[in-house]
Amino acid sequence: MVSFTLNGAPVALDLPEGMPLLAALREGAGLSGPRFGCGAETCGACHVLVDGRSTPSCAMPLGAVAGRDVTTVEGLGSEAAPHPLQAAFLAEQAGQCGYCLSGILVSAAALLAANPRPDEAAVKQALDPHLCRCGSHNRIVRAVLRAASQMAGEHA
């Protein structure tokens, strides 16, 4: 049994501690946001926030998050109350297939929490671990900058 906080609520998953966190989130907690890409911490599709830090979940064992705080893209916002990043990604149509976006959104959220007004270079650096096979990079960067402006009370 591994207990931790998931998207703001306590959970206890009766799964092996050595199971990859990504598999535990998808199969044990029923979350489809974090996605399997490479399985080798090199594509970014599986990123979640662990204690606020964007982290690949495909190789991290479930036991490593015991007592910690895990946030997936589902925890950022909802359809009714989207995170400003989610609204900005929609506004910019940032993405095509969407496979990469759950990981990118949590990394962008971590960036804006640490640096509310990043410049383009800072956004690109924060999103460097993430591959987008659809080539939506420019729109994605624009969306993060748009969200930062909106969160600062400006109109993008």
Residues that bind ligand FES (CB under 6 A): 36-39, 41-46, 56, 58, 95-100, 132-134, 136
Give least dist CB 108 to ligand FES, A.
13
Closer Cβ to ligand FES, 3 or 93, answer by number: 93
Closer Cβ to ligand FES, 140 or 155, answer by number: 140
Give least dist CB 18 to ligand FES, A.
16
Closer Cβ to ligand FES, 13 or 100, answer by number: 100
In degrees and rounded to multiples of 5, residue 23 shows phi and psi of -65, -40
**Among 51, 18, 144, 43, residue whose Cα is nearest residue 103:** 43
Q: Are 2 and 66 in contact (CB under 8 A)?
A: yes
Strand partners, 4: 11
Give least dist CB 103 to ligand FES, A.
7
**Among 30, 31, 63, residue whose Cα is nearest residue 48:** 31
